[in-house]
Structure 1
Amino acid sequence: MATAATSNALNNSNGNTAGESSDSNNIATTNVPYPHIFQPLDLGHTKLKNRIVMGSMHTGLEDRFYNYGKLAAYFAERAKGGVGMMITGGISPNREGWLLPAGGTMNTRADVINHQRLTRAVHRHDSKIIMQILHSGRYGYHPFVVSASPFKSPISPFKPRQMSIKNIKSTVEDYARSASLAKQAGYDGVEIMGSEGYLLNQFLSRHVNQRKDEYGGDINNRMKFPLEVVKAVREAVGEDFIIIFRLSMIDLVKDGNVMDEVITVAKALEEAGVSIINTGIGWHEARVPTIVTSVPRAAFVDYTAEVKKHVSIPVMAANRINMPETAESILSSGQADLIQMARPFLADPDWVNKAKNGETDLINTCIACNQACLDHTFENKRSTCLVNPRACYETELTYEPAKKAKKVAVIGGGVAGMSAATVAAKRGHKVTLYEAKDILGGQFNYAKVIPGKEEFFETTRYFLNELNHQGVTIKLNTKVTKEMLDEAKYDHVIVATGVVPRSLEGTLEGADNPKVISYAELLSGEKAVGETVAVIGAGGIGFDVSEYLTARHGQPLHELGPETLKDPSYRPEPQSVADWKQEWGVDDNVDYQTDGGLTKPENIVPMRQVYLLQRRDGRLGKGLNKTTGWVHRAHIKSHGVMQMPGVTYDKVTNEGLWVTTPQGHSQLLRVDSIVVCAGQESVNDLMPAVTDIKKGKAIKKGKTEYHIIGGAKLAAELDAKRAIRDGAELAAQL
């Protein structure tokens, strides 16, 4: 039966969202910009002040007790930012459930003391905090891994031991003890992780569960273990405690569940005493992207809405929701009762308060790049955020008001320069930002026009608005000279002049042929290409260019005109959800009956023939980021890009590009165009000297200190993560 704690939150006969007043005018007359977001949710024994939940993210701080002060500051900043409820990173109920050796646990009284630092910090700001109990199952990176069946995952090097019935029963007790200790630590509830391919999901799905006993077979048997966990937890914590179950709404793996099975589990979870059902999408091993930037916003919300039709407790939507308009639309249409966002709160801890105050343009939007969050997690590093380097570094990277306002010049309007200028101005310095071109953004302007990277427009929008908000003087179309700087007598000059594409002229015969263009000329719309193209260089930029040339959505830049791209309000049309699902083989039926919701991907007819070449032998894209690189490699493969490693570039003629293959054969690629993506060179001519550049030391000239950051300090492939952090860290020290 539904618990007393949740029965008061059921949908009423008028069809209102769970927990809302039956007075429909209550929302319509509110003064906040997004009324459904800020409608409280009554759970009976407690009330959430709004419908926004910060979802679970493993930051790396959870695993060591001495980092809990930093973790408390991280959560406190987001609670202060207005979020109604937040969920911790995964905490294991026992040793077998560790994600990493000696991972974060909640199974002793000593753990309670550490976790109280988090709960007290959050409760000071009138927010709820939930501890996620996560048993990694066969995803754990340690030799004690267990699972429903003894099948090794593609994620961990360790083969799991099949859990015995005795092991299952003891694990149920471990969950209950962990939840009880969480309550003692001051948590408002627990989330039981049952999705993304972790242990309980492994039991729920035939993808892993091949057992022949009472815990295997049909869905009624496969869900027995998760239900026993929920019932034991409810009994241990009582009725006045939130229990969230994160349920996989679509597995996206072979032999995954169908929607009828998902609904069966959802109904049983409600009966077992769950307060809220949260959305999980896909397994970590799925070959369908679920959270990268190329996934359209709210691409999976229809599956959540289908489950919501069959239960009476609140249901939470998740995955690729990052702006208030999207969240409000989901809530107002009744597709979900709550919105979970995770990475958007790494990007901007004040997301909720900005939405409430109508300051959407000042939200530092998550661009779903994964470069500093998930990529760091898989590299066993502390998570942070590309667009917000303070994330998870709140106690170390502080923007305290400057003791004395200084006169600061920032030369270069790329992301490094904009980062430095905003932070310096926020601290009270008088800042002037110079940019030689008529648009800010630098190399980011090339990245943001790649189809699937439309979110990158939001970062330039954020910086433009923040620069104005902080009172930075912006001077476009201004080529700064050393004489200008000497005359202005700045206290600090920050050289953030970035990089320029490396030319092959002088190193490749025929590189001055009109067929040859740089990636900057292509992605700025300055020049166009023909129907057959060779891309020289298979790093991140080469892959981006190949995707730009082969993607079927997005308008060619040379047709838009330069003024369109300079318009701050311009947004390219992203790929539709329907087209994206067709391309990746995701069943578009909300009541899908295909295993795991998978269908056959659409056969793609390439827009043009592209050859992607690199000098180095071996697989192309080897250096791409772990969590997103496979997506890029899959794209160029499905779009017919010819991959050519280990080639030598010989010469360019009017016929095309001559190369020598790894076998020593001379070959002509008859191409109309050649796009050079062979790296960049730093622009640092304004520095009085270039010694100690890599160390980042200031160079004194008279009374002016010169600093160098970003690409000007070290040329690398569009490393926005390093550039933005460089700018913020330097400005925090001035």
Structure 2
Amino acid sequence: MLKKLFTPYSIGNCLIPNRLVVTAMVTNYNNSDGTATERYIAYHEAKARGGWGLIITEDYSVNEQAMGYKYIAGLWNDSQIASHKAFTDRIHQYESKVFCQIYHAGRQSHAGVNGGVQPVAPSAIPCPWCRDLPRELTIPEIKKIVQDFGDTALRAQKAGFDGIEIHGGHGYLIAEFMSPYANKRIDEYGGNLLNRLRIVKEIIDDIRTKVGPDFPVIMRFSADEVIPGGRDMSETRIIVQFLEKWGLDGLHISSGVYGNHGIAAPMHIPHAWIVQYAEEVKKLVKIPIITVNRINDPFMADNIIAMDKADFVGMGRGSLADPDLPNKAKEGDFESIRYCIGCLQGCTGALASKGTETSVHCLVNPTLGQEYKIDYSKVPVAKKVFVAGGGPGGMEAARAAALKGHEVHLYESNDQLGGQFRSAAYPPFKGELATFTVWQIRELNKLGVNIHLTTTLTADIVKQEKPDAVIVATGATPIMPRIPGIDSPNVFNAQDVLLGKVATGNNIIVAGGGMVGAETAAHLALQQKKVCVVDMLPEIAGDLDGVSREQLLKLLDEYRVEQITNAKVYEICTQGVLLDKHGIITLHPADTVVIALGSRKNDKLYEELEEFTGKKMVIGDAVLPRQAIEAIFEGFEAGLNI
């Protein structure tokens, strides 16, 4: 069924073996001096081994003060070349080509990661995320940065890269100069469009002077910055024609800047949502076009190319989730692909919430960033391993143990696997979560894991069967606090409501406005029910990353979900709920009350195994209720290291 995906296509004089591109994503896997680590090399090598046609590295800093993250790569001096030559040599063991993305972070940086200096920008306007006040660049400083780009490109060429990608998007320095949103200059680098593009032409010219006319050079930029006052397609249509005229070999069409949802769209955003930008650009130029953003399926990618909307499809997060996606698709083994679910928990969301020193992980792929040290060799003597709990953490533990050659038995008290990840797929936009559960179950069956449904693992079973190891992944149970009336027949926990185990009325109060409560409220509101969500904190869904929270709050507003903050449930009565807000008790009518007030760990089995002499481990929410990414990673580590 795939028509175009695995046909070769050239960028300049570089023949790319297929149309699948790994787009640049910050991983923070390098040394702080910009040199490549074995972790960084092995991470990319997994993608080359997996069959990606073109790998574009994360942003290589053009000077020591140009960094936006602490552990990104750099080629600002000759001493850095050797480690990156070792990197490209590893990639070139395979058919994949590799381009070096070069950039200057501009105002999207801070003193803690860029050598301790004040960030620089076209104008002294802070980045909405990083927030350090930048210093306006002088013209001599601009000229020096132009030279830095050319020098970095030359070093990349010497390091064995197959081409260069200039990062002119996502609100970094070049994008700042191009955009009236960030550039308020009144000299030759500001004002009208050609002035704002001046630095781009100078950089292209400087690079060409140093690497020659035949070395592929492309540029990534935001066709629409999706922010008030930013650039949109009206200027992009003009810009792309200049970029082709100035000698670029390809264009990589993205969107967004720091401070909006246009860079890494969460699951709330439609698939392939900016492909129309690439399609429009492709009509205006003859050079190859790369499209990107929320494309995670090879059939989807193939259709885009077959319909002539783009020449290449970038799957950044798709390559994080499964570096072997191209090889699996080429072989027709689509069911074994581990698809990106758009959760952002380990990639963009982690970088945004945990800081510029955080390294990237992946919820569905716990091996990400660990490629350099994982040993999949079979154990010399297989052990009998029991896993208690069939949620995502327990299933991952069972899968990893089976990969090592152990005899694995997975016990689940319910009649289906999935744990809380099953109910997590029910709220609006989150249906893709089920794809990971389906993938895990398929892998367990393929590996011959013995699955015992409707069977709770007990200390007695362990004593009778005498396994060598027990992994406790029994998760957490919903908290039902001692609120008067909580035992009423019209009071349910959020998980049962989401799974359709209970029927609700039409006038509902959700007690608890964290992620679970807010998403449950949205789920019920889409059923045309009147919903009110209540929380003691001053904001709703405060435990979500900023991008996902923005989308969820929009949905709650669209479906008129009432949101009451700084209030707690005082009592549940027949007429509804008595709320206590600042000491004032008021009645809010309701015929159903849904409790989403968190959960507490369920480690009872672990405590009961006190006399068990084999190896025992506890993982995931049974340790402490957290996100699924922690449970999956801990499960993988436990299963791999029995």
TM-score between both structures, scaled by the size of structure 1: 0.83
Quick check: 2:107–2:172 contact (8 Å CA) kept in 1?
yes
Residue equivalent to 2:114: none
Aligned-pair RMSD on alpha carbons? 2.0
Residue equivalent to 2:623: 713
Query: How far apart, in 2, do the equivalents of 1:235 and 1:700 lie?
Result: 73
> Per the alignment, in what secondary structure is the counterpart of residue 95 of structure 1?
coil
Closer/same/farther in 2, CA of residues 433 and 103 from structure 1, 3 Å limit: closer
CA deviation profile, 1:632-654 (whole Å, cap 9, x unmatched):
34443444333323323221111
Query: How far apart, in 2, do the equivalents of 1:683 and 1:158 lie?
Result: 44
Query: How far apart, in 2, do the equivalents of 1:666 and 1:416 lie?
Result: 42
1:444 to 421, 431, 451: 421
CA deviation profile, 1:336-368 (whole Å, cap 9, x unmatched):
100111111111111111111111111111111
Letter in 2 for 1:192: I
Letter in 2 for 1:403: P
Report the Cα offset of residue 275 of structure 1.
Answer: 1.4
Query: How far apart, in 2, do the equivalents of 1:256 and 1:615 lie?
Result: 37
Quick check: 1:390–1:398 contact (8 Å CA) kept in 2?
no
> Per the alignment, in what secondary structure is the counterpart of residue 18 of structure 2?
coil
- Runs of 5+ consecutive residues of structure 1 not aligned to the other structure: 1-32, 557-606, 691-698
Quick check: 1:101–1:141 contact (8 Å CA) kept in 2?
no
Residue equivalent to 2:3: 35
Q: What percentage of residue pairs aligned between the two structures are identical?
A: 32
Report the Cα offset of residue 710 of structure 1.
Answer: 1.6
Query: How far apart, in 2, do the equivalents of 1:49 and 1:428 lie?
Result: 35
Letter in 1 for 2:201: L
Residue equivalent to 2:497: 522
> Per the alignment, in what secondary structure is the counterpart of residue 508 of structure 2?
strand
> Per the alignment, in what secondary structure is the counterpart of residue 604 of structure 2?
coil
Query: How far apart, in 2, do the equivalents of 1:57 and 1:343 lie?
Result: 8
Query: How far apart, in 1, do the equivalents of 2:199 and 2:403 lie?
Result: 52
1:323-472 alignment, distance < 5 Å:
323-378=297-352, 379=354, 380-472=357-449
Closer/same/farther in 2, CA of residues 537 and 67 from structure 1, 3 Å limit: farther
Report the Cα offset of residue 622 of structure 1.
Answer: 3.1
Report the Cα offset of residue 526 of structure 1.
Answer: 1.2
Residue equivalent to 1:297: 271
Closer/same/farther in 2, CA of residues 688 and 164 from structure 1, 3 Å limit: closer
Query: How far apart, in 2, do the equivalents of 1:48 and 1:102 lie?
Result: 29
1:187-206 alignment, distance < 5 Å:
187-206=161-180
1:602-621 alignment, distance < 5 Å:
607-616=528-537, 618-621=538-541
Query: How far apart, in 2, do the equivalents of 1:303 and 1:170 lie?
Result: 33
Report the Cα offset of residue 235 of structure 1.
Answer: 2.2
> Per the alignment, in what secondary structure is the counterpart of residue 174 of structure 2?
helix
Query: How far apart, in 1, do the equivalents of 2:604 and 2:76 lie?
Result: 58
Query: How far apart, in 1, do the equivalents of 2:336 and 2:258 lie?
Result: 32
Residue equivalent to 2:151: 177
Is 1:51 matched up with 2:19?
yes
Report the Cα offset of residue 269 of structure 1.
Answer: 1.0
Letter in 1 for 2:496: E
CA deviation profile, 1:370-428 (whole Å, cap 9, x unmatched):
11112332322111111112111222444332222112222221101110111111111
CA deviation profile, 1:443-494 (whole Å, cap 9, x unmatched):
0001111111122111112112111222222222223333333222222222
Residue equivalent to 2:612: 701
Closer/same/farther in 2, CA of residues 374 and 287 from structure 1, 3 Å limit: closer
Give aligned pairs, total.
633
1:681 to 600, 615, 620: 600
Query: How far apart, in 2, do the equivalents of 1:338 and 1:211 lie?
Result: 36
Residue equivalent to 1:151: 125
Query: How far apart, in 2, do the equivalents of 1:493 and 1:158 lie?
Result: 50
CA deviation profile, 1:527-586 (whole Å, cap 9, x unmatched):
2333332111122211221222234xxxx5xxxxxxxxxxxxxxxxxxxxxxxxxxxxxx
1:538-577 alignment, distance < 5 Å:
538-551=513-526
Quick check: 1:649–1:658 contact (8 Å CA) kept in 2?
yes
Query: How far apart, in 1, do the equivalents of 2:29 and 2:458 lie?
Result: 45
> Per the alignment, in what secondary structure is the counterpart of residue 270 of structure 1?
helix
Quick check: 2:28–2:69 contact (8 Å CA) kept in 1?
no
1:276-295 alignment, distance < 5 Å:
276-286=250-260, 291-295=265-269
> Per the alignment, in what secondary structure is the counterpart of residue 651 of structure 1?
strand
> Per the alignment, in what secondary structure is the counterpart of residue 74 of structure 2?
coil
Residue equivalent to 1:129: 98
Quick check: 1:281–1:290 contact (8 Å CA) kept in 2?
no
Quick check: 1:682–1:713 contact (8 Å CA) kept in 2?
yes
Letter in 2 for 1:520: Q
Query: How far apart, in 1, do the equivalents of 2:545 and 2:608 lie?
Result: 34
Residue equivalent to 2:211: 237
Q: Which moved more, 1:650-659 or 1:36-45?
A: 36-45
Is 1:653 matched up with 2:573?
yes
Quick check: 2:360–2:369 contact (8 Å CA) kept in 1?
yes
Is 1:98 matched up with 2:67?
yes
Closer/same/farther in 2, CA of residues 638 and 290 from structure 1, 3 Å limit: farther
Residue equivalent to 2:108: 139
Quick check: 1:425–1:470 contact (8 Å CA) kept in 2?
yes
Quick check: 1:91–1:104 contact (8 Å CA) kept in 2?
yes
Kindly report structure 1 stretches of 4+ aligned residues shifted beyond 4 Å. Answer: 287-290
Q: Which moved more, 1:141-150 or 1:724-733?
A: 141-150
1:725 to 633, 636, 640: 633
Residue equivalent to 2:84: 115
Query: How far apart, in 2, do the equivalents of 1:229 and 1:381 lie?
Result: 30
Quick check: 1:416–1:726 contact (8 Å CA) kept in 2?
yes
Closer/same/farther in 2, CA of residues 287 and 319 from structure 1, 3 Å limit: closer
Quick check: 1:370–1:627 contact (8 Å CA) kept in 2?
no
Query: How far apart, in 2, do the equivalents of 1:733 and 1:290 lie?
Result: 34
Closer/same/farther in 2, CA of residues 162 and 654 from structure 1, 3 Å limit: same
> Per the alignment, in what secondary structure is the counterpart of residue 675 of structure 1?
strand
CA deviation profile, 1:151-208 (whole Å, cap 9, x unmatched):
2221222222222222222111110000001111111111111111111111112111
1:225-264 alignment, distance < 5 Å:
225-264=199-238
TM-score between both structures, scaled by the size of structure 2: 0.94
- Runs of 5+ consecutive residues of structure 2 not aligned to the other structure: 112-116
Closer/same/farther in 2, CA of residues 313 and 300 from structure 1, 3 Å limit: same
Letter in 1 for 2:568: T
Query: How far apart, in 1, do the equivalents of 2:458 and 2:54 lie?
Result: 51
> Per the alignment, in what secondary structure is the counterpart of residue 137 of structure 1?
coil
Query: How far apart, in 2, do the equivalents of 1:639 and 1:377 lie?
Result: 31
Is 1:497 matched up with 2:417?
no
CA deviation profile, 1:668-691 (whole Å, cap 9, x unmatched):
11122211011123333333547x
1:672 to 591, 608, 618: 591
> Per the alignment, in what secondary structure is the counterpart of residue 172 of structure 1?
helix
> Per the alignment, in what secondary structure is the counterpart of residue 467 of structure 1?
helix
